[in-house]
Amino acid sequence: MLVRKLLTEAIGTFFFVLTIGCTVILSADSGKGIIPPLAIGSALMVMIFAGGHISGGHYNPAVTLAVAIRGRHPKSEVIPYWIAQILGAVLASGIAIYLTGGVAKSASPPADIGKALVAEFLFTFALAYVVLNVATAKATAGNSFYGLAIGFTVLIGAFSVGSISGGAFNPAVAIGASVMGLIHMPSVWIHIVADLAGGFVAGLAFLFLNPDDK
């Protein structure tokens, strides 16, 4: 039932973005910069395990697009999924602001837009590519590691290029982070464009590399 899928996506995205907001804002005050990537990757992992059997556990418009391109998600449900994910992210942003006592210091625009676009594209591609191969491929059907693999991909990306692009790899996260002041709001287009492009190309790559996996 679509309503159950959408509610699952909203809940999963909510707790994912809430974790991002609380850990990043509070760690900025405490100087514990290593904590957010660990918490964020873990939050995504557990939410995928919790809701994957209901909605697929996307929690990311770019992943939803990739799964649709791959042919394992109804194209008619792409926009509803995006809406649920963004609503969950925005609601989480408001709660994070309340819990932490206010928005983070206003973020600066990326120092180099080109590098930010490339960083976001590459690691969103990596994220969607991993999702497609561990959670939708016939060869890995029934595995129990997919949530860990996906969560660790975000962890790797955050450590690798978080300082370059903000490390969203997710348009819903980028929108929520901009509400919290963690991403420069006028620059959020970088994440939306690069992340959706990364998901789209990952879907095409999966089809090319797995022509018999229909």
> Is a pLDDT exceeding 80 seen at residue 164?
yes
The percent of residues above 70 in pLDDT, for the chain, comes to 95
Average pLDDT over residues 154-179: 95
pLDDT-based confidence at residue 28 (cuts at 50, 70, 90): low
- In this predicted structure, what is the pLDDT of residue 142? 86
Query: Nearest CA to 110 among 174, 27, 54, 57?
Result: 174
> Is a pLDDT exceeding 50 seen at residue 31?
no
The whole-chain average pLDDT of the chain stands at 93
What distance in Å separates the CA atoms of residue 77 and residue 5, rounded to the nearest whole number? 10
> Is a pLDDT exceeding 80 seen at residue 30?
no
Report all structural domains of the chain as residue ranges with CATH numbers, in order of start: 2-209 (1.20.1080.10)
Query: Nearest CA to 172 among 198, 147, 191, 148?
Result: 191
Structure confidence by residue, pLDDT tens digits, 107-138: 788 889 999 999 999 999 999 999 999 999 99
Radius of gyration of the chain measured on its C-alpha atoms: 16
Single pTM value for the model: 0.94
Copy the structure tokens of residue 211. 């022509």
Confirm if 167 and 96 have CB atoms less than 8 A apart: no
- In this predicted structure, what is the pLDDT of residue 42? 96
- In this predicted structure, what is the pLDDT of residue 104? 60
Lowest mean pLDDT among 49-53, 110-114, 141-145, 186-190: 141-145
Average pLDDT over residues 168-187: 95
